[in-house]
Structure formats: structure tokens, C-alpha cells
Amino acid sequence: MIKMNFQRVWLWYSRESVQKALIEVSKNREVVSVFSDNSFGRRPDVLQYSADILQAVAEGTVAFHGSVERWSNPMQLDVNMSKQDLDNLRIGWDVLIDPDVKDFEIAKLTTKHIIEALKDHGVKSFSVKFSGGKGFHIIVPYEALPEKINLQPTSSLYPELLQKIVEYIKWYIRENLKSDLLSIDNVSNISQRIGKPVKDITTKEGELDPFKVVSMDVFGSRHLFRLPYSLHEKNLLVSLPIKPERIDKFKREEAEPEKVRVEEKFIKQTEKHDAEGLVIEALDWASKYMVEKKEEEIPKPK
């Protein structure tokens, strides 16, 4: 890390408000250092005190990535653990939705559709942040999920339940997202905007496939995401929590560390079981279509 960048990183993480925000969101999470060359620090690791943050930065850390899963004791994690052992250690997991596309305006459009889908299902307890890179992260906290599903603790249903929720949301927004993408540009221009050939973003029939334009992957065990108020390891922009209604107006320059004030709490007070309706709909949809039917046979939402 060159000297000027180190000073920017040090000044950012020296702010008491930044330290407080990072420590708060790191509770019960595995937290890993990321360096400017994109390499990761030791695993497992945690953030508990302000001194932990400053020590990590002194050793070259630029970004902090945390686990989607929450653990009773993250330091007990081991690469050789069985699923049963992981389930016993896991106390919860957040629904992380990470639409990935190189075009910032398309990322905004997709994020707005995801938010509308959550609202349509009665979900109020969700948070949005600029990823620090090309797009946005949307999180529904674990506390909003039902505690048990078919007598099984929801904490043990990772990543299977997450997959069903994400795939259901993709199905739910597919047609409207496709329509809105085509309203802002044609297929040829969209392919140029995202750096993919036309054949890679269309179906066999030549129609635009919104999820060949935007990737919405499902993550496995111990997946990490850039924590809110962490810097991005490459461009030093802040992974900044934002109000959903500000997505359209948001500009990446707002996330320059010198311009950021730590005001927006990322995971706010959550209404218990707020996302229960979404989970029920996702499970019902998955039971009908994820096993018995191929993707092209899945009907369009009404």
C-alpha cells in the first residue's frame, strides 16, 4: 500500500464512529482482513475492539469482510468441520442478495426491483448498502425469519433456504426487470454496457434474459461480504448504507471516505418474523418448480 493510500485508510478507520459501526455489525460474525492485492488474512478471525481494527490496518488491512452466517463462537470454525458441526455452531444467517453487473444504472434498476419484491411480501426489515464497487447489497436480517420451519431450526437451513428465497425473488421480478431493461436500452447496447456478447445475454429464442445480464448467485458456507462502512480494497470507496429511496440519486463519489458521515445504521431494529410471508411463498414456489420442472417450464408470475 503506497503511503498516501495508507494515510487515507488509517484516517478512515481511526474515526470512532467507523469503529463503533464495524464492531456492532461484526458481532457473532467471522471477520476477515482483505489487503490491497485482494489477498485475505487468516481465518477464522473476529473484530471485538477498536484496537483490533487499528492493529489490522497497521498490518496492511484495507477492507473487512464478514460472514453472512452468525456463529456462537466464530473462532471455533475450521475448514474440516462437518455440516452437523457447522449447524451446531451457527446461530443464524442473513438473507444477502448481491446483484452483480458491471453497469451501475442497471445495478440500481435491479436493486429497486428486489426492494419492491420484498415490500410486496410485507418485508419491512431490510437494509441496503452500496457495495463499494459496482452495485448494491440488500440484506434481510436473520431476526426477520421464522425461528423454525417444519420443526427444523431455521439456523440449520443454510444455504438451502437462502437458495430458495433468492431463486423465488429472481422468478418474481424476472418479467418486470426484463421489460424495464429493454425500456432503457436495446439488447445490443446492453451487451456493450456490460461487456458480454449478445448471445451470452439472450435465450435460444433471442430474447433478453435479465439474469444473464445480472448475476444473483447463492452462496455457500462461510461466505463473506464487505461489511458496511468498510473501505473497498481496490478503490477505497466506503461500503455505504443508504436509504432505499435514495438509490436513483446515489452517486459513487458520495462514498469517498472524506465525504462520508456515519449516520445510517445498517441493520436496524427488526420486526420479529417480518419475512415469514416471503419464506412461505418461496418454499411453496420451490416445492412446485425447483425440483419437478426445468427452468424453461416455470410459468411467468401473474
Domains along the chain with CATH numbers: 3-160+218-267 (3.90.920.10)
Task: Give the rounded percent of residues in the chain with a pLDDT score beyond 70.
Answer: 94
Q: What is the pLDDT of residues 215-227, one digit of tens each?
A: 998 888 999 999 9
- In sequence order, the 6+-apart residues with CB closer than 8 A to the CB of 286 are 164, 167, 168
User: How far does Cα 295 stand from its chain's mean position?
Assistant: 24
Q: CA torsion sign, 109 to 114 to 120 to 125?
A: negative
Q: Which long-range contacts (CB under 8 A, 24 or more apart) does 3-10 make?
A: 5/36, 5/62, 5/236, 8/236, 8/257, 9/57, 9/62, 9/231, 9/236, 10/57
Mean pLDDT of the chain: 94
Other Cβ atoms closer than 10 A to 252: 14
Reference 129, options 121, 139, 140, 137; nearest CA is 137
Cell of 134: 459496482
pTM: 0.93
* pLDDT tens-digit profile, the chain (302 residues): 666 699 999 999 999 999 999 999 999 999 999 999 999 999 999 999 999 999 999 999 999 999 999 999 999 999 999 999 999 999 999 999 999 999 999 999 999 999 999 999 999 999 999 999 999 999 999 999 999 999 999 999 999 999 999 999 999 999 999 999 999 999 999 999 999 999 999 999 999 999 999 999 888 899 999 999 999 999 999 999 999 999 999 999 999 999 999 987 788 777 889 999 999 999 999 999 886 544 444 555 55
Distance from C-alpha of 114 to C-alpha of 168, rounded to nearest angstrom: 11
Q: Could you read off the pLDDT of 149-175 as tens digits, one per residue?
A: 999 999 999 999 999 999 999 999 999
What is the phi/psi pair of residue 149, to 5°?
A: -135, 120
